[in-house]
A and B are shown apart, each in its own frame.
Chain A
């Protein structure tokens, strides 16, 4: 199985400041035949199902604010919130879909400082 790790476990950022979350996979999720990274990011608020933010590592889902961006390739990925808003307080998960056995990272909790 591909193991996903995230860092940090939690972070607190001032309103309007940048938040950066890292995700690492135990093996590459870059498919060489199409040069796509099979990596997605989700946001989950309490009592709600997760919401897709980013897929193919850097493609923003329709309707997601452009302050959210994804980057990285191979085994190392980053989710950046360029200017944290109050409504961004949530837990963020990365997920690989390269393997037939799909796996999530453990999550990163983002709060306001």
Chain B
């Protein structure tokens, strides 16, 4: 059974850093496209970043240069390193599989506030 479990969210001050993790089971992260998608409170879905099976990465303009997506093949885990956080980065962050997202985690809440 495919499962995705995010962790690492919390309250962080503006300008701070946070690393999110997404532990996968039931499939191999490195063989798939994997994305992070976020949803600000009461708002719609915003795609954040993707990593391809060949290692290529792409980012939304809103996070480019501040966020880094990566994976650990030995732990079958996806990561999102978030630096220079802003209030507008406050959201539930989901990890999802493929380019049309067939599996999603439950999400982890990131709150950027002083």
Interface of A is mostly: loop
* Complex CA–CA separation, A93 to B58 (angstroms): 21
The smallest beta-carbon distance between A35 and chain B, in angstroms, is 17
The number of residue pairs between A and B whose CB atoms lie closer than 8 Å in the complex comes to 53
Q: Are A102 and B99 in contact (CB under 8 A)?
A: yes
B46 at the interface (CB under 8 A from A): yes
How many residues of B sit at the interface, in one of the four size bands? 10 to 19
Given that A1-B61, A101-B58 are contacting pairs, would A50 and B50 also be in contact in the complex, using a CB cutoff of 8 Å? no
What are the interface flags for B65-102 relative to A under an 8 Å C-beta threshold, 1 for contact and 0 otherwise? 00000000000000000000000000000100001111
Chain A residues whose CB sits within 8 angstroms of the CB of B35 once the complex forms: 102
* B58 and A100 form a contact (CB under 8 A): yes
Q: A residues within 8 A CB of B60?
A: 101
CA distance A44 to B47 in the complex (A): 15
- Residues of B within 8 Å of A49, CB to CB, are 94, 104-107
Chain A residues in 8 Å Cβ range of B101? 40, 42, 50, 52, 95
Say yes or no: is B11 at the interface (Cβ < 8 Å to chain A): no
Q: What's the nearest-Cβ distance from chain A to residue B55, in Å?
A: 14
Q: Is A55 within 8 A of B105, CB to CB?
A: no
Chain B interface residues (CB < 8 Å from chain A): 35, 44-47, 50, 58, 60-61, 94, 99-102, 104-107
